[in-house]
Amino acid sequence: MTRILVTGVGGIGGNNFVRALRLAEKQRETKLFIVGTDHNPYYLQMPQVNVRSVSPRHDDSKFVPTLLKLIKKYKVQFIHPHPSSEARIVSESLSLFEDAGARTYLSKSSSIAPDKLEMFDALSRHGVPTPNAIMINSLDDVDDAFSKIGQAIWIRAKTGAGGRLGLKVNTPEEAKLWAKFNVLQGRANIDDFILQEYLSGKDLAFDSLWFKGKLVTSYARERLEYPLKHVSLSGITATPSVAKIIDDEQVNRIGIDAVNALNPKPHGFFSVDIKCNATGDPLVTETDSKWHTTAPLWGYAFAKAFNKPEVNIADLYLTLGLSGELKEELPRTNLFPNDYYLIRQLDAGVILKCDDRIWKIL
DSSP H helices in 185-286: 249-262
Q: What is the pLDDT of residues 84-93, one digit of tens each?
A: 999 999 999 9
Residues 252, 319, single domain; the answer is yes
Q: Is the pLDDT of residue 229 over 80?
A: no
Residues 221, 351, single domain; the answer is yes
Q: How many CB atoms lie within 10 A of CB 242?
A: 16
Q: What is the pLDDT of residues 103-119, one digit of tens each?
A: 999 999 999 999 888 89
| Domain of 68, in residue numbers | 2-104
Q: What is the pLDDT of residue 179?
A: 93
Q: pTM for the full model? A: 0.93
Note whether residue 211 is domain-resident: yes
Note whether residue 26 is domain-resident: yes
Q: Which of 164, 197, 230 is a domain's end point?
A: 197
Distances (CA, A) of 87 to 32, 61, 64, 239: 21, 15, 11, 19
Q: What is the pLDDT of residue 362?
A: 92
Characterise 137 by phi-psi region: left (phi > 0), alpha (psi -120 to 50), beta (else). alpha
Distances (CA, A) of 47 to 18, 20, 162, 245: 7, 11, 22, 26
Q: How many residues make up the chain in this entry? A: 362
168 Cα distance to chain centroid: 22
Pairing of strands 193-197, 78-81: unpaired
Q: What is the pLDDT of residues 2-33, one digit of tens each?
A: 999 999 999 999 999 999 999 999 999 999 99
Residues 193, 209, single domain; the answer is no
Q: What is the pLDDT of residues 36-86, one digit of tens each?
A: 999 999 999 999 999 999 999 999 999 999 999 999 999 999 999 999 999
| CA dist., res. 204 & res. 221, Å (int) | 6
